[in-house]
A and B are shown apart, each in its own frame.
Chain A
Amino acid sequence: MRPVPQDLFLEGIHAVVGACTPFVPDKSGQSLYVRPFLFGTEPGYAVRASGSARFMVIANPSEAYSAGAMKVLIEREQVRAAAGGLGTVKAGRTMRLRCSHRLVPSTRLHGRSMARSYDAAEH
């Protein structure tokens, strides 16, 4: 995919947040969560970068992501990051571990705020 030009990125952010000015909550811990995202729209199964893409910005008036005491599941079987890998990238593929019912069954995650996994070499 093509990167989003900075001007376009900022235009999207300012347009959505600006339009939603009256809906930005102001109680403690609250914010307007802004989610810019980019995805490939070209149909086809050839493994190459998509020739077309769509950049969108949506937003959600939100409470804090989590509050109070936090319980964390340490995942020792599945891997998110490896040296030289893309675990730092915010992309659907790197978040699957936390979202998949097969990889991290909801029964194991039950009652915990999040799953944390570590690198491929030595966990």
Chain B
Amino acid sequence: MPGYTLTERLQELQLDAPGWPLRFRRQVGTPAGLGAVAAFLASDPAGYVTGQAIACDGGLLQSIEVICPITGSSSADGRLRGSDEVWKCLADFRLPDSLGFGLVAAPVMYSATFEGGQWKQGELLPYGPIELMPGARALHFAEQVFEGMKAYRVGARLRICSGHEITTRASRDPPNDSQ
């Protein structure tokens, strides 16, 4: 799995141009480095290596451990409390045999709103429709950003890939905020 790799294409795009974030300029790998990983996997000595995804990304793909699994009536830090509805949804949910990608919704969702100049306390809710004013900017000016990450089971623990990178990115100004 490559990170930002200094290919001819990236060189053409001039990484030191003002439009590129600093992290791209500082954290790039070489095609030879990535090629060496591929060559190793294709080599005879690697014949016993199967089914692996090897990151060659300068540490970009860091994972974070899920630290507050909700097991009772509140999260481990006591701040987030699920309603009876939430616990019922969780208790009733069954993982289907066929998943697809993004087709099966987890039974709960998190929501927090920014109003009056501040973020309100977030809450865990049963997964379901949300209310949105028809004039909302998300619908008319695509004022919307998203991320995607994957949680895996590693032994008895859960880890989220790319968590560090994404968390940092999400906390920066969204690109349309200068308007």
Q: How far is the CB of A35 from chain B (nearest CB, A)?
A: 6
Q: Is B13 an interface residue (CB 8 A)?
A: yes
Could you tell me the distance between the alpha carbons of A95 and B32 in the complex, rounded to whole angstroms? 31
For the complex, count residues of B whose C-beta is within 8 A of A: 77
B106-124 vs A, Cβ < 8 Å mask (1 yes, 0 no): 1111111111000100101
Contacts of A58 in B (CB 8 A): 105-106, 109, 127
User: Looking at B80, B100, B138, B140, which has the most chain A CB atoms within 10 Å of its CB?
Assistant: B138
The interface stretch among A45-53, A72-80, A100-108 is A45-53
B123-167 vs A, Cβ < 8 Å mask (1 yes, 0 no): 010010010111111101111111111111100001010010011
Contacts of B174 in A (CB 8 A): 1, 3, 38, 89, 91
Task: Classify the secondary structure of B's interface with A.
Answer: loop
Could you list 27 examples of A-B contacts with CB < 8 Å?
A: A1-B177, A3-B172, A4-B170, A5-B171, A11-B80, A12-B112, A14-B69, A15-B80, A19-B82, A19-B124, A23-B106, A24-B153, A39-B143, A39-B145, A40-B136, A40-B143, A41-B132, A41-B136, A41-B137, A50-B138, A58-B105, A59-B106, A60-B103, A66-B101, A84-B18, A93-B142, A93-B144
- The interface of chain B, by Cβ under 8 A from chain A, is 13, 17-19, 51, 66-70, 75-76, 79-80, 82, 86, 90, 93, 95, 99-115, 119, 122, 124, 127, 130, 132-138, 140-153, 158, 160, 163, 166-168, 170-177, 179
